[in-house]
Amino acid sequence: MSIHRNEKLKRKNKMHFLFNDLELEAFEKYCKKYKINNKSRFIRETVITEVLGQFDRDYPSLFDKSETSGE
Domain ranges of the chain: 16-60
Provide long-range contacts, Cβ within 8 A and 24+ apart, for 59-63: none
Which SS3 state, helix, strand or coil, does residue 62 take?
coil
| Helical pair 21-33 and 39-58, crossing angle rounded to 10 deg | 100
* Cα distance between the two ends of the chain: 49
Q: What is the pLDDT of residue 68?
A: 55
Within its chain, how far is the Cα of 25 from the centroid?
21
Tens of each residue's pLDDT in the chain, 71 residues: 556 678 888 999 999 999 999 999 999 999 999 999 999 999 999 999 999 999 999 988 777 666 555 55
Q: What is the pTM of this model?
A: 0.71
